[in-house]
Amino acid sequence: MLAIRKADEIHHEQGGWFDARWHFSFAHYRDPEQMGLGPLRVFNDDRLVPGAVWPMHPHADVEGITYVVEGSFRHEDDAGGGGGVLEPGGVQRMTLGSGARHSEQNASTDHPLRFLQFWILPDTPSLEPGVEQRQFRQEDFRGRLRQVLGKGGDGVVHVHQDASAFIGILDEGESASHELSGGQAAYIYVIDGLGSIDGEEVRAGDAAKAAGPHTVQLEGQAGFHVIVVDVPATFERVGVWAANPEA
């Protein structure tokens, strides 16, 4: 099963120094029909003006995943994290388990920043705060889907959940597929370009939800830059999320 979400159906938020698309209920935006997908609770496409700093703020029992699309991303937290500046293609996981404050920042005073940030709710409460990141290059994603996030394995950023993420950049004539087993679901987002998902034309800003068993077919037309986040369709909430099942 696959359901397409067009770009104009996704919440648009502007704050002067930032411009964002919030795919699921987040902060003051509430939509009971868009509360996430399995343990994928938040999915935001954020743009910050040069020099902008998202102020320090706390979370608990969350793993925030960042993928840098354009510009230079800098992370700061009060748990001894850091890790320097990430450039396009970079992926970071910030574990905010037992509670920590963090900040997303545009490391450039001259150029805008664009990054995706999504939350995976972990399978273990009160994890030790920490950061893991890898500087992939966007060339690594050309002509295929490349895994960048997973619970185990080499060459990926690790997450404390049965979840994974794959990124691809497909041009005309290039294709890729992603197989979902029964009990798994996926959120697919078109970061840039033009292509198709299961034969339906999509463009930058469109998204889709898929449920397994199903094989997602991706076809490129022009710079089809896409991310696939694979998660269990159902999961057990832990920590603060178990205490507040409506959140």
Residue 153 lies in a domain: yes
| Least confidently predicted of 102-111, 185-194, 230-239 | 102-111
Residue 247 lies in a domain: no
Query: Does position 23 have pLDDT exceeding 80, yes or no?
Result: yes
Residue 69 lies in a domain: yes
Query: Does position 150 have pLDDT exceeding 70, yes or no?
Result: yes
76 or 142, which is more confident:
142
Query: Does position 175 have pLDDT exceeding 70, yes or no?
Result: yes
- Average pLDDT of the chain, as a whole number: 94
Q: Could you tell me the two tokens for 109? A: 């005073």
Give the C-alpha separation, 10 to 179, whole Å: 25
CA atoms within 13 A on the CB side of 15: 14
Structure confidence at residue 83 (pLDDT) = 64
Mean pLDDT of 32-59: 93
- Are 141 and 220 a contacting pair, CB within 8 Å? no
Give me the CATH number covering residue 173: 2.60.120.10
Structure confidence at residue 82 (pLDDT) = 63
DSSP-assigned letters across all residues of 127-145: PPPEEEEEE--GGGGBTSE
Tens digit of each residue's pLDDT (9 = 90 or more) over 61-74: 999 999 999 999 99
| Least confidently predicted of 17-31, 84-98, 225-239 | 84-98
Q: What is the pTM of this model?
A: 0.96
Residues 6+ apart with CB under 8 A from 100: 58, 59, 77, 78, 79, 81, 129
Tens digit of each residue's pLDDT (9 = 90 or more) over 110-133: 999 999 999 999 999 999 988 999
Residue 146 lies in a domain: yes
Candidates 235, 1, 3; CA nearest to 120 is 235
38 pLDDT band, cuts 50/70/90, is very high
Structure confidence at residue 80 (pLDDT) = 64
12 or 54, which is more confident:
12
Tens digit of each residue's pLDDT (9 = 90 or more) over 218-231: 999 999 999 999 99
Q: Which domain holds residue 202?
A: 2-242
Residue 28 lies in a domain: yes
Residue 234 lies in a domain: yes
CA atoms within 13 A on the CB side of 127: 22
Give the C-alpha separation, 90 to 138, whole Å: 9
Strands of the chain, DSSP E: 2-5, 11-14, 18-22, 40-48, 57-59, 62-70, 73-77, 85-86, 90-96, 100-106, 113-120, 130-135, 145-150, 157-158, 164-170, 175-180, 184-197, 200-203, 207-211, 214-232
What is the count of structural domains for the chain?
A: 1
Mean pLDDT of 171-186: 97
Tens digit of each residue's pLDDT (9 = 90 or more) over 73-110: 998 877 766 667 999 999 999 998 776 777 889 999 99
Query: Does position 201 have pLDDT exceeding 80, yes or no?
Result: yes
